[in-house]
Structure 1
């Protein structure tokens, strides 16, 4: 779990509560580039995902939708459902890799784990109070609550694949951790297979099966994501290139153009203006080509 903790520490979690009270009828939640966290305090509701998936929830529960997915919540018009709703964002160099690891919808009864139930009750108390610090408190509590939900997901192997599943894998965990800790190293399939104490062919097949990417594609995703993070910290392009494993800034620029269609400087300018396209992983690029 230490390997997972190192990844989670790099996540900047932000939760913003936008509703607390009784929800009646139908409420739609659009794709706004953020995930959602809904806490049901009392009542009954049905959640309907964009793909038609329906789930009825009739006891205090958390509804976690990690990514920007359209969904609807249906509650009885008369009885309604007491809820707290928040948008969530997981800002991280590995954001896309993390989101791909989660199921699109996770529901968890609040009595499943004591620590989750206790924090939820504290959050409910603040959300339905008239305290002068109510807004700040419920946002911070939502972030703590989200971390607890993430911990539960990881400890109970609910992540479906990707980096989180790999970090829970007995043979892949050390490899993934090493790649994240030393992205500047010229890793090859052979050198990574040695770390995993596996044959080259078995390692390559296992890595692709668990992570969903080849080792090289995954390493490239890590390097691009870390480069973006360092560029936002105003580090020079040539220095960033060296820190993520490239001899010259021109090599990093070629990789940016291949992955994002723009140079590092153009990406940084767009990032500063708030109009940046998110990093696409190798898996997403392959999917785009097939559509």
Structure 2
């Protein structure tokens, strides 16, 4: 299985199209936990403003991609109203999604940047502005496919030059990351990881840090913690979670949690459950 498929299989991304049509006036989009947004402009003109107040005028077919929770505003041009398809991006995990976290808060792509992205957008627009039966599930399915084309475009064109997706795009580093993602419970040593990449230890360690932004050992720990948090949220016992991600027992996992997160696995889970019960603070 390829690098992107493994992460998408473990950390699913689903979409929910909630608007199709001409956008009039100003629309505000709130920051919501574990939810991003994607807007596809078919025609017309709009101005988009992000949380920091940065604005961008867009007047050609474009995708605006907010991978992570991010409040923003779209203002349509009354003389040339934008025709849009807008969707929520929903992450089924209640912690975090490593793909979303590896991307900038906002990405713009012209639909003509990728033939497959443009073709899928055409199908999506055709479905959005027709009245065929089964319209909503078809829209959601096409938007799911469109997201994968966006991620492929990012990987294939090395658009991200640092972090997880940069590593997945690298021909040698990706082999190691794929192996780590498939078997976080394995005892990964530097020599074995370098062997996977067919490189010397020192050259591999330097290249991995340059491309991914952290040492191979730190990446293994971070991936194990990512998987551990996911399993804890499924109410798995701490001892079983520890074994599943490569630690001898719950105490060993707790030491890593305290070092990296400042709390034990049980404290982290209680804190997460409490936050979910109270609800998010929307600004």
TM over 0.5: yes
Mapped pair 1:15 → 2:28: no
The equivalent of 1:139 in structure 2 is: 140
The equivalent of 1:224 in structure 2 is: 225
The equivalent of 1:209 in structure 2 is: 210
The equivalent of 1:164 in structure 2 is: 165
The equivalent of 1:282 in structure 2 is: none
Greater shift, 62-71 or 189-198, is seen at 189-198
SS of equivalent residue, structure 1 residue 150: helix
**For 1:1-291, what aligned pairs fall within 5 Å after superposition?**
2-33=2-33, 34-91=35-92, 95-131=96-132, 133-268=134-269, 275=276
SS of equivalent residue, structure 1 residue 161: coil
Looking at structure 2, the residues matched to 194 and 92 of structure 1 have their Cα atoms a distance apart, in angstroms, of: 33
Q: Give the deviation of 1:139 after TM superposition.
A: 2.2
Looking at structure 1, the residues matched to 131 and 75 of structure 2 have their Cα atoms a distance apart, in angstroms, of: 27
SS of equivalent residue, structure 1 residue 15: strand
Looking at structure 1, the residues matched to 134 and 5 of structure 2 have their Cα atoms a distance apart, in angstroms, of: 30
SS of equivalent residue, structure 2 residue 147: helix
CA contact (8 A) 2:94 2:233 kept: no
CA contact (8 A) 2:208 2:216 kept: yes
Report the TM-score, using the length of structure 1 for normalisation: 0.81
Q: List per-residue Cα deviations over 1:181-238 (Å, max 9, x = no partner).
A: 2222232334323333334333322222111122222111111121223334443322
Change (3 A) 1:208 1:91: farther
The answer for unaligned runs of 5 or more in structure 1 is 277-291
Q: List per-residue Cα deviations over 1:142-183 (Å, max 9, x = no partner).
A: 212212222222222222321221122133122212222222
Looking at structure 2, the residues matched to 128 and 81 of structure 1 have their Cα atoms a distance apart, in angstroms, of: 14
Greater shift, 30-39 or 110-119, is seen at 110-119
Looking at structure 2, the residues matched to 117 and 170 of structure 1 have their Cα atoms a distance apart, in angstroms, of: 26
Q: Give the deviation of 1:88 after TM superposition.
A: 0.7
Report the TM-score, using the length of structure 2 for normalisation: 0.84
Looking at structure 1, the residues matched to 150 and 201 of structure 2 have their Cα atoms a distance apart, in angstroms, of: 36
CA contact (8 A) 1:102 1:161 kept: no
Change (3 A) 1:274 1:93: closer
The equivalent of 2:280 in structure 1 is: none
Q: Give the deviation of 1:55 after TM superposition.
A: 3.1
CA contact (8 A) 1:10 1:92 kept: no
Change (3 A) 1:94 1:234: closer
CA contact (8 A) 1:98 1:162 kept: no
Q: List per-residue Cα deviations over 1:37-79 (Å, max 9, x = no partner).
A: 0011210122233345443322222111212223322321233
Following TM superposition, the consecutive aligned residue runs of length 4 or more in structure 1 with deviations greater than 4 angstroms are 91-96, 266-274
Q: Give the deviation of 1:271 after TM superposition.
A: 5.3
Q: Give the deviation of 1:136 after TM superposition.
A: 2.8
CA contact (8 A) 1:45 1:81 kept: yes
